[in-house]
Amino acid sequence: MANGVNNRSQTYTVARAMQRCANCGELTGVIGIFLPAGHETLEIDPDAEEDTTAAETWEVVEAGAGVFYVEHLPQAVQFRLRQLSQHYYIGAGDVAGRSYWMNHCSLCGASQGDFELYCEPEGAFMPMSAEAAGSIQLHEVLEPFAAQAVGYAFAPELLDYAHR
| pLDDT for res 159 | 77
| pLDDT for res 96 | 58
| pLDDT for res 56 | 87
Query: Residue 80's closest CA among 147, 4, 6?
Result: 147
DSSP state of 163: B
Query: Residue 145's closest CA among 7, 1, 43?
Result: 7
Give tens-digit pLDDT for 115-134.
999 999 999 999 999 999 99
| pLDDT for res 49 | 63
Cα 29 to Cα 125: distance, rounded to the nearest angstrom: 12
Cα 8 to Cα 45: distance, rounded to the nearest angstrom: 18
Below-50 pLDDT ranges, the chain: 1-2
| pLDDT for res 1 | 42
Give the helix/strand (H/E) hosting 133: helix 130-134
| pLDDT for res 162 | 74
The pTM for the full model equals 0.89
Give tens-digit pLDDT for 56-76.
899 999 999 999 999 999 999
